[in-house]
Chains A and B, each alone.
Chain A
């Protein structure tokens, strides 16, 4: 037990866990933003990340320059995000949450099946950015470059998003639509534009996550990012789904806890990691069913 705690508190493990938390926080923002504006839990979010990762692998296979691969990744994810919004989310906007959730399940498995048909169960490898796994020494700790990149990128993305939400008209419209969609529409806020922008921002974040996850896990299969998405969804619920800030903190927390537990568990027992994490999720939900980071209803904005 004492060695478990010692390992969990190890600086190296802590830094890696913060890096994983940062990536999960970005996914949580993507999921929380769309939920805030459209009341839609997008289970297919992980498949957007998967599609972006395959785009990177596709470019890597052909030895295309890294910026081209990243551009392709963003293009694929954004086109898919827009298609999802126009073909599935928008027509179902007035349906119940259950109908929309099932629709996102269908989209998720459709995309997964397409990936299986095109790339096979073993998938492809995205190797163009693997050099970011090399460590740099920061004091006594070896920190992988990708960990620093992930933390900085997540911080920049979140700051940009906060600026967009608080300083632009479209951001204000998104916040209003998240609080009371009907009143926002009565004031002239265009529901279609707001949902398109939300889905696009979520798509940008999914592409960023795809780039960072492929650095750490270069083998891209049709189930790529699936487990991470389930963990982030759990994190979003644990944090508090109805507020973007609490959802983001929940996403970060579950990434961080997974990182710490993953680092502290002996490799022979790593298969217990998901059970441990989800056990904690159930515990938290029993104690704080509205979310760990909610301060009561109506105090923090949804978006």
Chain B
């Protein structure tokens, strides 16, 4: 398991800066939160880490290796998995086929076997709906499959982009509980969320982004301090 480290990351769309001088790190087994208003640069940060958008300057390191300039597939194969916003499951493929696609990041694995036993422990619905098209599942079930698919890749770092978006409260509870369980297995979790209070309560550190800049870092002790969070959001 390696540490993910972002150093002075700058990302721009055209001439407009979307992320400015962001630095953060995620160690094995810890949950790090990234919150902030819409357009703060949270998703852009994840996309830059995955090589979907180029960094203008700064660096992204996994262990000692720089990921800058690598393709998304090379970054996935180096041990970082992203659960994208909206889940992005392959709706026409079965749950099992979606899980098998998670193996693409592991060069020598071709069959879903013991990996599924691992994810079934976290998400029993994966076994139950294994042969169903992923598109036939509810939003909450799809989110569980999306996280399971990412875990099948056995990543060092799991990144999630607003995993609770559009989910019913019991499923949100399940997602947050599961993230804790995932971190306990030694996987570093970088969580982008809109549910600020829950994220702050879960994560070892939660960074508040606004206008592309890191404004504040909160710890679980700050979870009840809503005034501070609101001030950071509005700053």
A189 contacts B73, CB within 8 Å?
yes
Contacts of A182 in B (CB 8 A): 52, 72
What distance in Å separates the Cβ of A47 from its nearest Cβ neighbour in chain B?
30
B104 contacts A173, CB within 8 Å?
yes
Main secondary structure of the interface of A (DSSP, over half): helix
What distance in Å separates the Cβ of B86 from its nearest Cβ neighbour in chain A?
10
- Identify which of B50, B76, B106 gathers the most chain A CB atoms within 10 Å of its CB: B76
Cβ of A188 within 8 Å of any chain B Cβ, yes or no, is yes
B88 contacts A173, CB within 8 Å?
no
- Near B by CB (< 8 A), chain A positions 259-303 give 298-301
Cβ of A232 within 8 Å of any chain B Cβ, yes or no, is no
Cβ of B110 within 8 Å of any chain A Cβ, yes or no, is yes
Cβ of B100 within 8 Å of any chain A Cβ, yes or no, is yes
Contacts of A189 in B (CB 8 A): 73, 101, 104
Contacts of B102 in A (CB 8 A): 187
What distance in Å separates the Cβ of B42 from its nearest Cβ neighbour in chain A?
17
Number of A residues, CB within 8 Å of B: 21
> How far, in angstroms, from A184 to B82 measured CA to CA in the complex?
11
The one of A176, A190, A298 that contacts B101, using a Cβ cutoff of 8 Å: A176
Number of B residues, CB within 8 Å of A: 26
Given contacts A180-B88, A187-B149, A188-B77, contact A172 B101 (CB under 8 A): yes
Contacts of B97 in A (CB 8 A): 172
Cβ of B90 within 8 Å of any chain A Cβ, yes or no, is yes
- The proximity string for B residues 70-105 relative to A, scoring 1 for CB distances below 8 Å and 0 otherwise, is 011100110000101000101111000100111111
Given contacts A188-B73, A189-B73, contact A183 B90 (CB under 8 A): yes
B88 contacts A183, CB within 8 Å?
yes
B90 contacts A180, CB within 8 Å?
yes
Cβ of B153 within 8 Å of any chain A Cβ, yes or no, is yes
B71 contacts A187, CB within 8 Å?
no
B100 contacts A185, CB within 8 Å?
no
Cβ of A227 within 8 Å of any chain B Cβ, yes or no, is no
- Near A by CB (< 8 A), chain B positions 43-74 give 50, 52, 71-73
Contacts of B100 in A (CB 8 A): 169, 172
What distance in Å separates the Cβ of A169 from its nearest Cβ neighbour in chain B?
5
Contacts of A180 in B (CB 8 A): 88, 90
- Near B by CB (< 8 A), chain A positions 163-186 give 169, 172-173, 175-176, 179-180, 182-186
**Chain B residue with minimal CB distance to A168?**
B110
Cβ of A75 within 8 Å of any chain B Cβ, yes or no, is no
Contacts of B110 in A (CB 8 A): 169
Contacts of B93 in A (CB 8 A): 172, 175-176, 179, 301
Cβ of A148 within 8 Å of any chain B Cβ, yes or no, is no
> How far, in angstroms, from A149 to B43 measured CA to CA in the complex?
55
What distance in Å separates the Cβ of B103 from its nearest Cβ neighbour in chain A?
8
Extra inter-chain contacts (20) besides given A179-B92, A301-B92, CB under 8 Å: A169-B103, A169-B110, A173-B104, A179-B93, A182-B72, A183-B84, A186-B50, A186-B52, A186-B84, A186-B88, A188-B77, A188-B104, A188-B105, A188-B106, A188-B153, A189-B73, A189-B104, A190-B73, A190-B104, A191-B71
Q: List 9 A-B contacts (CB under 8 A).
A: A173-B104, A182-B52, A184-B104, A185-B72, A186-B76, A186-B82, A186-B88, A189-B73, A189-B104
Binding site for A on B (CB under 8 A): 50, 52, 71-73, 76-77, 82, 84, 88, 90-93, 97, 100-106, 110, 135, 149, 153
Cβ-closest 3 pairs across A and B: A188-B105, A188-B76, A188-B104
